[in-house]
């Protein structure tokens, strides 16, 4: 169940469109999209919905380091999906201050590739592969990187 409002400011997040995503099970699911950028993050306090405005206010003092890593990571993914790769890089760097995973490193590499910094793109793919030598996306994307 996904709430229709920000867990912090209670702003209503009305879906204006939807995207079709393929779940790992092979099921096609519709993901609602709103004019207001927001994320869902699984935290130690349960699933929270956070709008971009509340995220920018940085009123996240009640969350632990793992929660903050997840919140910043989810915004990094959402920014990239919305075509804001430089904001994605910023959010993902914030996530990496709390926790480093191969998925996070591969995500930031992809965003660096989007903005044309192929040197950093390759560097972050390599870092992802140090953490997880079998990380498929990092391995394949490194092969296809523009350097």
- Residue whose tokens read 């989810």: 74
- Residue whose tokens read 């959402």: 78
pLDDT at 144 > cutoff 80: yes
Cβ distance 4 to 12 under 8 Å? yes
pLDDT in tens, 46-74: 999 999 999 998 678 889 999 999 999 99
Beta-bridge mates of residue 34: 15
pLDDT in tens, 25-43: 777 776 656 678 899 999 9
d(CA 9, CA 36): 13
d(CA 76, CA 111): 9
Sign for the pseudo-dihedral over CA of 78, 58, 90, 66: negative
Query: If you average pLDDT over residues 103-123, what whole number do you get?
Result: 96
Instruction: Considering only residues 110 and 145, tell me which one the structure prediction assigns the higher pLDDT.
Output: 110
pLDDT of the residue at 110:
95
- Residue whose tokens read 């903005």: 115
Domain boundaries, the chain: 101-147
Largest CA distance in the chain: 45
Give the pair of three-digit tokens for residue 127: 């870092």
pLDDT at 1 > cutoff 60: no
If residue 96 lies in a helix (H) or strand (E), which one and from where to where? helix 85-96
Instruction: Give the pTM.
Output: 0.84
């Amino acid at each position: 169940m996904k709430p229709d409002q920000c867990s912090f400011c209670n702003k209503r997040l009305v879906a204006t469109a939807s995207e079709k995503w393929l779940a790992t099970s092979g099921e096609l699911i519709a993901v609602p999209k709103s004019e207001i950028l927001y994320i869902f993050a699984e935290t130690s306090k349960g699933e929270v919905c956070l709008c971009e405005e509340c995220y920018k206010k940085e009123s996240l003092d009640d969350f632990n380091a793992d929660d903050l890593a997840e919140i910043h990571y989810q915004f990094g993914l959402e920014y990239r999906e919305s075509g804001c790769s430089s904001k994605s890089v910023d959010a993902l760097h914030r996530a990496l201050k709390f926790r480093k995973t191969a998925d996070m490193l591969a995500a930031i590499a992809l965003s660096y590739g989007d903005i044309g910094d192929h040197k950093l793109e390759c560097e972050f793919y390599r870092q992802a592969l140090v953490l997880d030598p079998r990380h498929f996306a990092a391995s394949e994307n490194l092969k296809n990187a523009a350097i």
